[in-house]
Amino acid sequence: MQSRRDVLRTGAGLAAAGGIASLAGCSNVPVVGSYFEGEPDITEWAYDPDELGSSSISADLTDISSVLEEDEVKKGEIRDDVTSNYSGTLKADNVDYSLNVGHAQILTGSFDGADIVEEMEFSSEDSYEGFDVYVDEEDEDEEGNASALIGTDGDYLIKSEPAQYVDFGPREELELLIDTYNDDADRFADTNDDFATIRDEVELGAAVFVQGQTESSAEEASDDIVVATGATLTIDGEEMNVEYLLLYKSEDGIDIDEIEQNFEDNMQEESELNDVSQDGRLVTVDYTMPTEKF
């Protein structure tokens, strides 16, 4: 639990709480609405990873415009996170929200996506379900496949890049993201109870994170396996509050004392564990860390 990236992108704390897998089932859990007015909703974009032959998916959403107003935040890293994909043509101050889903980044803000891409060396290739698609022809593999794709409908700016250890490329992910957003493909919150439960439990914050596994990845899982995780990061001056959620396959596999000890053993000196509580299969871990670690 070293920084915001640990919490949001690598699922910090999982090693302290057990393995991760998934439960079977179709969701009857009502999906809550958007966290922030005008933001890209995680539920609308989080696709079913089974469609790409993947065993899991994670998504994190950050309120960039609000975070950049915080005095204690190291703004250079935040600015780099949202602009590095766009060769200096996009200004962080023009970005409102950043949503990472799978291996893609989705941005919204006071910019025109087409204008941003036109300033880059990407070439217009085609359109897909209301989105113009651009490719980097200067960076193709031996078979002529572009290393990255950008899609935009003017409001949303999406970039999907190749990832290691997966059997799909940027185009497959980009098209599935768009299909999911258009409700032409299954949304993971509609097909997986555990992901929907965590998505429903995560509250408003400067940043939120959800992660879940596919049904097939949990067929042999034991009771002490974590099946989904979530986190809310809230900034309060020099201190950042983190609410970390761990959904276990069974409450019989939960050892609160062991979880608390493992979190304490893995925390930095600047961080403080405040509370570990259990409600059925769900364990909630509350801790604080310096805002500068965001």
Amino acid 119: pLDDT = 87
One domain for residues 81 and 161: yes
- Look at residue 16 and tell me if it is in a domain: no
Indicate whether 176 belongs to any domain. yes
Q: What is the pTM of this model?
A: 0.86
Let me know whether 167 and 201 are in one domain: no
Q: Tell me: do 45 and 184 sit in the same domain.
A: yes
pLDDT at position 6 is 56
Please count the structural domains in the chain: 2
Asked if residue 139 and residue 198 are part of one domain, the reply reads: no
3-class state of residue 10 by DSSP = coil
Strand order in the sheet with 157-160: 123-128, 131-135, 149-152, 157-160, 104-109, 95-101, 56-63, 207-213, 226-236, 239-248, 282-290, 272-279
Residues 63 and 136 in one domain: yes
pLDDT attached to residue 25: 25
39 within domain boundaries: yes
Among 155, 188, 221, where does a domain finish? 188
In a domain, 79, yes or no: yes
Low-confidence ranges of the chain (pLDDT < 50): 1-2, 9-35
pLDDT for 28: 26
Rounded CA separation 46/52 (Å): 12
- State whether 139 and 172 are in the same domain: yes
Residues 158 and 222 in one domain: no
Q: Which of 172, 188, 204 is the last residue of a domain?
A: 188
Do 184 and 53 share a domain, yes or no? yes
**For residue 54, what are the domain limits?**
28-188
Q: Of 136, 163, 188, which closes a domain?
A: 188
Is 244 found in the same domain as 174? no
One domain, residues 37 and 172: yes
Tell me what pLDDT residue 16 has. Answer: 35
